[in-house]
Amino acid sequence: MFVDPIKEGLAKGWLHIDASQLGKDAVLEADVCIIGTGAGGGIAADVLSSTGLKVVMIEEGMLKSSSDFRMLESEAYPTLYQESASRKTADKAINILQGRTVGGSTTVNWTSSFRTPAATLKHWRERFGLTDLTDEHMAGWFKLAEQLLSIADWTVPANENNSVLERGGQKVGVKVERIRRNVKGCYNLGYCGMGCPTNAKQSMLTTTIPAALARGAVLVSRARADRLLWQGSRVSALECTAMRGSGYDEGAARVRVTAKHFVVAGGAINSPALLLRSKVPDPYGRLGRRTFLHPSLISGADMGGKVEGWSGAPQTMYSDHFLDAQPVDGPMGFKLEAAPVHPVLYAISVNGMAEHHRMRITNMTSTQVMIALCRDGFHPESEGGTVKLLADGFPQLDYGLNRYFFDAAKRAFLAMAEIQFAAGAKEVFPVDERIDGYRNWAEAKAGLNRLDLRPFSTRVASAHVMGGCAMAASDKDGVVNGFGRHHQIENLSVMDGSVFPTSIGANPQLSIYGLTWRNAARLAGEMRRG
């Protein structure tokens, strides 16, 4: 029997308000109101509450904990993800996986942990005037997060799904390295994306949020942040709507929070959306712009034997070979990783219809899946997307796919196919609706080079949303400064992946942890001094 720290804490008196159960409007007061409980919100809550500040955390999703996680896609996607794991770009060409629960995406991610690459920080310093963000300066903040969240080398042998990347890479001369993971006492189950039933994943749900609650912080779940009320240069209150049931139907109750300072940490679609609904100052039209996705390509391979890609740590191997091969602002580079093969996620991603689709599903046991995460945002032809508001105030990301991206997509498909065949694949099927499958590397090389990749035919996915509230030294280039403080509103900060002025070029959670820790510590010091 595993201990559930959330349920134990609630039994001890932790302050949690499930807004769906409110019978009347609620008014709360705090020193700091934090909107969102993912990587940014969780770290901010821990840092700020540790200094004695009264913290209120607002979360649109439900409070679920380890005893609720049963490793079932049918339960996880509707309750733990934005739009039941079906969030898409405006044209429906890119599927976006984002968490929507207490702990945000840290509750459902695959635990891959990378420091912000040096090339990314260098670009930010040179292009956006963020001169403090050196490797040396950020190293200490990353180390703090790594210690708190047990981020360390993964020494357990890789599952076969990841071993294909390692084995094939070695044969074709592509350097493959091990991924560091934020786990403690991991049971190596392979279902990280459905919430960790053993509390091995050191997410915000099991670390920073319990720490803040133990200090007297208040958590309000199933409360949608509608707008910030502001006048002049200060925010006075946050207005929220209580949500019912699954968290998608509006309830009758309202929640209002007044605070000295407001931290927006709803993620790189919801954070700019809240600021847009609030009509905060945006003199240069930067809000919601330059939103990035690491748009990702998928390549499946029939290995002719047992892979069982759903079993074992989801991601333990990676290659930056194709990121390092060219300048950061040159042709779009990409990072190679493996992806877990769970039935529902696999079924909605794989090529084909009818009998062909049935065949792919039937062969799932022998299927290896590789992904290429494209580094967007560094080139003039990679401006990212724009978060806009629909008529009902709901956010939508408009992200077009151009030839600059599809050039990278073709190179990525070729690289993945070569590695998969080198590792022993009997058939490789890059996920494009016009590809039935290739039987050898020569056939794949010829077929892919002939193919004109395009939206919808070529399946594109994302689990990393960044930007939209970019930090920059000048308000002409960004929404917030290098410490996440809004350029025009003095008691408003943004602390999540939306502040990145480009994509990271790596899984972003550790980048968010380190940067938020730095910025929250700065804010805590300022508030203590008055």
Res. 476 pLDDT band, cuts 50 70 90: very high
Tens digit of each residue's pLDDT (9 = 90 or more) over 324-343:
998 999 999 999 999 999 99
Residue that terminates a domain, selected from 388, 422, 454: 454
Instruction: Please indicate, yes or no, whether residues 308 and 357 belong to a single structural domain of this protein.
Output: yes
Q: How far is CA 19 from CA 136, 213, 220, in A?
A: 43, 17, 7
Instruction: Please indicate, yes or no, whether residues 141 and 158 belong to a single structural domain of this protein.
Output: no
What is the predicted pLDDT for the residue at 51? 97
Rounded to 5 degrees, what are φ and ψ at 46?
-65, -50
Tens digit of each residue's pLDDT (9 = 90 or more) over 355-383:
989 999 999 999 999 999 999 999 999 99
Is residue 395 in some structural domain? no
Find, among 384, 374, 367, the residue nearest to 413 by Cα. 374
Instruction: Please indicate, yes or no, whether residues 56 and 106 belong to a single structural domain of this protein.
Output: yes
Is residue 506 in some structural domain? yes
Instruction: Please indicate, yes or no, whether residues 25 and 116 belong to a single structural domain of this protein.
Output: yes
What is the predicted pLDDT for the residue at 248? 81
Tens digit of each residue's pLDDT (9 = 90 or more) over 6-18:
999 999 999 999 9
Is residue 328 in some structural domain? yes
Tens digit of each residue's pLDDT (9 = 90 or more) over 401-430:
999 999 999 999 999 999 999 999 999 999
Is residue 384 in some structural domain? no
Instruction: Please indicate, yes or no, whether residues 325 and 407 belong to a single structural domain of this protein.
Output: yes
Is residue 333 in some structural domain? yes
Instruction: Please indicate, yes or no, whether residues 112 and 238 belong to a single structural domain of this protein.
Output: yes
Instruction: Please indicate, yes or no, whether residues 475 and 517 belong to a single structural domain of this protein.
Output: yes
Q: Are 241 and 254 in contact (CB under 8 A)?
A: yes
Find, among 98, 17, 7, the residue nearest to 58 by Cα. 17
Taking the whole predicted model, whether its pTM rises above 0.85 is answered as: yes
Q: Which domain holds residue 334?
A: 153-187+296-375+402-454
CATH code where residue 337 lies: 3.30.410
Q: How far is CA 204 from CA 82, 261, 339, 502, in A?
A: 17, 21, 22, 24
> What's the domain count of the chain?
2
Q: Are 72 and 33 in contact (CB under 8 A)?
A: no
What is the predicted pLDDT for the residue at 1? 67
For tokens 């976006």, the residue is 96
Instruction: Please indicate, yes or no, whether residues 212 and 351 belong to a single structural domain of this protein.
Output: no
Res. 469 pLDDT band, cuts 50 70 90: very high
Instruction: Please indicate, yes or no, whether residues 158 and 212 belong to a single structural domain of this protein.
Output: no
DSSP 471: B
CATH code where residue 206 lies: 3.50.50.60
Instruction: Please indicate, yes or no, whether residues 322 and 357 belong to a single structural domain of this protein.
Output: yes
Question: Using N-to-C axis directions, what is the helix angle for 441-450 and 403-422, rounded to 10°?
Answer: 170
Instruction: Please indicate, yes or no, whether residues 248 and 182 belong to a single structural domain of this protein.
Output: no
